[in-house]
Amino acid sequence: MTSSTTEAVAARARPEELWVKCPGCGQIAFRKEVERNLNVCPKCGHHLRLTLEQRLAVTLDPGSWRELFADLAPGDPLGFADAKPYPKRLEEARRKTGRLDAVSVGLGRIEGRALALAVMDFGFMGGSMGTVVGEKLSRLFERAAQARLPVVIFSTSGGARMQEGTLSLMQMAKVSCAIARLRERRLPYLSVLCDPTTGGVAASFAMQGDLNLAEPGALIGFAGRRVIEQTTHERLPENFQRAEFMLAHGMLDAIVPRHLMRSTLARLLVLLAPGRRRALAPTVLAGG
Amino acid sequence: MAAGAKRSAQSTGDAWERVKLARDPARPQTLDYINGLCQGFFELHGDRCFRDDPAIVAGLGYFGRQPVALVGHQRGHSTAERLKRNFGRPHPEGYRKAARLFELAERFGLPVITFIDTQGAEPGVGAEERGQAEAIARCLVLMARLEVPVVSCVVGEGGSGGALALGVANAILMLENACYSVITPEGCAAILWRESTPENVARAAGMLGLCAPELLRLAVVDEIVPEPGGGAQADPEAAVRLLGVVLRRHLARLARLGPQKLRRARQRKFAAMGVPFLLPGAVANSGPSG
Ligand SMILES: [Zn+2]
């Protein structure tokens, strides 16, 4: 779409599409201004959720993205149907997002550095992990191991996908096996936990990074807040399961604001550059 | 997938009956299997970080003449024991104790036998503060790289990540009336219909495909272990013996594989999970090579 047609579309858009209400401070801001600020509220710094396309755009060097395995689609191993059959739900999610399942994987560059990247899509059935998410991530790690590339994953997911039953649960183990292989090859994997990352995804690859990073304010945890309140009848702290809470309890390496994410990832990938079980720098050897 | 839908409808009532059986406190539990099948069991405690979690039992012993490492969820039989063991719902320290055992087993070349029997990991403030997700994630990736034989036995109810944390094995055995699920039927019903009425829960149980025959069809488990007539709770000693027979066969088979082969076979096994159920035409180049 050219910029002139984009503006024409924007001009016809309803007012609620021109303006955005910040979930953090409740203030109304001009959508374009928020988007220019990487979808971070200019008033309070709240990090709004990104779509998968927005995430790719703010993360990778322009034009560097090469998607892999985009044609993988799930079957319906259980014939699962509640109010709607599972294939119908999939169809709706596909129409909404334009992709076949809840993750895109591929190769790209950050500040000129090649890497294997996966971005989850919360808009596709809550970013839930079934056989396709497991298979795509597993293949991505395998590809990275072969090509000797580091891996970065941006997670956002409610956990395992109920509609594929125990096979979904097994994907946690499947991706863990792929990560174990990457570790054997001494290639780095940086996990970035975005809002929200919970359940089976938090309890597997999202917490298995060599480094685990998070965006400010991201909800991160194993059990859902409601489940915990119902089982324990405890009053939960205000920032319970937020990234800041997880950092304070020792579960994260760092919280990285969105406008620093690209440069931070680039810097960390240099520090952990793959495969170099290198000689110490001369200054270190000289004690200087 | 009409066949799948039909099967689910047929098994609705049956699946929920099995879940109730799987939860029967009179069924043998981890300590019963260990005491019945192993000699000289020595229990090991603690995660070296915070405390000992009684919801997971761990230790060393002999299976026949072979020294082994043993880890399993323990729900408890009596009310007092169930309270003490938090109904078999581990905290992060339980999983960190398990991880410590896995590392110990690796270091000294001991085969690992695990027993899965939990509705799930504890949902609570303390569990979240101490990193329930990280503790489970650590067990998964650790089990994935062990260079010793690992056999997991689903003996009761296997519920979500809290069960799988002990389940990344070379061979996964499942008792006839056990179940293994991504979510409890109650949790599933609450999400789908807001209310966990008995009818909804039974319906959810039927939909989740959590019974042994279904999981054998999906290649999630390798073998179904028969239970004595009427179920394991009717004759616990016979149930323990029956599992022992199958366990012995799998350990003997795995003992012939070298360390790297064991690790690669386990990784390949999980890499294949779910692949046959991806849509036709989308399954090429699947799984790790080399
Ligand atoms: Zn704001």
Domain boundaries, chain A: 7-48, 49-272
The DSSP letter of residue A206 is G
Residue in A closest to B189 by C-alpha: A82
Mean pLDDT of A187-195: 98
- Split at pLDDT 50, 70, 90, the class of B240 is very high
Of B3, B218, B288, the CB nearest to A79: B3
- More confidently predicted of B272 and A280: B272
As a whole number of Å, the end-to-end CA separation of chain A is 56
- Split at pLDDT 50, 70, 90, the class of A238 is confident
Which backbone phi and psi does B285 adopt, to 5 degrees? 60, 25
Is-contact A22 A44, C-beta < 8 A? yes
Of A74, A169, A241, the CB nearest to B128: A241
Range with lowest mean pLDDT among A186-195, A231-240, B113-122? A231-240
- Give the tokens for residue B115: 């027993």
Fold of A49-272: 2-enoyl-CoA Hydratase; Chain A, domain 1 (3.90.226)
Kindly give the distance from the C-alpha atom of residue A42 to the centroid of ligand 1, in angstroms, as a whole number: 7
- Split at pLDDT 50, 70, 90, the class of A237 is confident
Burial class (CB in 10 A: 0-12, 13-18, 19+), B229: exposed
Burial class (CB in 10 A: 0-12, 13-18, 19+), B23: middle
Q: Cβ–Cβ of B140/A167 closer than 8 Å?
A: no
List the CATH number of the domain containing B25: 3.90.226.10
- Split at pLDDT 50, 70, 90, the class of A10 is very low
What is the percent of chain A where pLDDT is above 70? 89
- Split at pLDDT 50, 70, 90, the class of B198 is very high
Is-contact A137 A168, C-beta < 8 A? no
The DSSP letter of residue B278 is B
Is-contact A165 A185, C-beta < 8 A? no
What domain count does chain B have? 1
Q: How far apart are CA B54 and CA B49, in angstroms?
A: 15
When the pLDDT of each residue in chain B is averaged and rounded to a whole number, the result is 93
Q: Is residue B200 part of a domain?
A: yes
Q: How far apart are CA A200 and CA A222, in angstroms?
A: 7
Mean pLDDT of A123-144: 98
Question: The dihedral of CA B200, B201, B207, B213: what is its sign?
Answer: negative
Residue A140 pLDDT greater than 60, yes or no: yes
Q: Is residue B287 part of a domain?
A: no
Q: Cβ–Cβ of B275/A131 closer than 8 Å?
A: yes
Strand partners, B152: B114, B172
Chain A partners of B271 at a C-beta cutoff of 8 Å? 138, 174, 177-178
Residue B287 pLDDT greater than 60, yes or no: no
pLDDT, residue A278, reads 61
Residue A1 pLDDT greater than 60, yes or no: no
- Give the tokens for residue A268: 């960390």
Flag whether residue A94 sits within 8 Å of chain B, measured between CB atoms.
no
Residue B232 pLDDT greater than 70, yes or no: yes
Q: Which run of H or E residues covers position A11?
A: helix A3-12
Q: Is residue B229 part of a domain?
A: yes
pLDDT, residue B194, reads 87
Q: Cβ–Cβ of A74/B271 closer than 8 Å?
A: no
Residue B10 pLDDT greater than 90, yes or no: no
Kindly give the distance from the C-alpha atom of residue A196 to the centroid of ligand 1, in angstroms, as a whole number: 18
User: Residue holding tokens 């000689």?
Assistant: A279
**Dihedral-angle region of residue B146 (phi above 0 means left; psi in -120 to 50 means alpha; beta otherwise):** beta
Burial class (CB in 10 A: 0-12, 13-18, 19+), A219: buried
When the pLDDT of each residue in chain A is averaged and rounded to a whole number, the result is 92
Q: Which run of H or E residues covers position B59?
A: strand B56-63
ipTM: 0.93
Mean pLDDT of A61-76: 97
pLDDT, residue B290, reads 36
pLDDT, residue B285, reads 43
Q: Is residue B7 part of a domain?
A: yes
What is the percent of chain B where pLDDT is above 90? 89
- Split at pLDDT 50, 70, 90, the class of B283 is very low
- Give the tokens for residue B148: 């010793």
Residues A30-56 pLDDT 10s: 999 999 999 999 999 999 999 999 999
Residue A281 pLDDT greater than 70, yes or no: no
Is-contact B170 B150, C-beta < 8 A? yes
Top residue of A69, A76, A78 to mutate, by most chain B CBs within 10 Å, is A78
Residue in B closest to A160 by C-alpha: B182
Q: How far apart are CA B83 and CA B89, in angstroms?
A: 10
Residue B130 pLDDT greater than 60, yes or no: yes
Q: Is residue B179 part of a domain?
A: yes
pLDDT, residue A175, reads 98
Kindly give the distance from the C-alpha atom of residue A29 to the centroid of ligand 1, in angstroms, as a whole number: 9
| Amino acid at site A15 | P
Residue B185 burial (CB count, 10 A):
25
The DSSP letter of residue A74 is B
pLDDT, residue A229, reads 87
Helix axes B259-271, A165-184, angle to 10 degrees: 140
Is-contact B33 B153, C-beta < 8 A? yes
Q: Cβ–Cβ of B127/A223 closer than 8 Å?
A: yes
Give residue B155's domain range: 2-267
Q: How far apart are CA A202 and CA A156, in angstroms?
A: 9
Of A73, A134, A169, the CB nearest to B164: A169
| Amino acid at site B165 | A
**Residue A99, CB-side half-sphere exposure with 13 Å CA sphere:** 24
Q: How far is B39 from chain A (nearest CA, A)?
A: 31
Residue A145 pLDDT greater than 50, yes or no: yes
Kindly give the distance from the C-alpha atom of residue A212 to the centroid of ligand 1, in angstroms, as a whole number: 26
User: Residue holding tokens 């969105």?
Assistant: A258
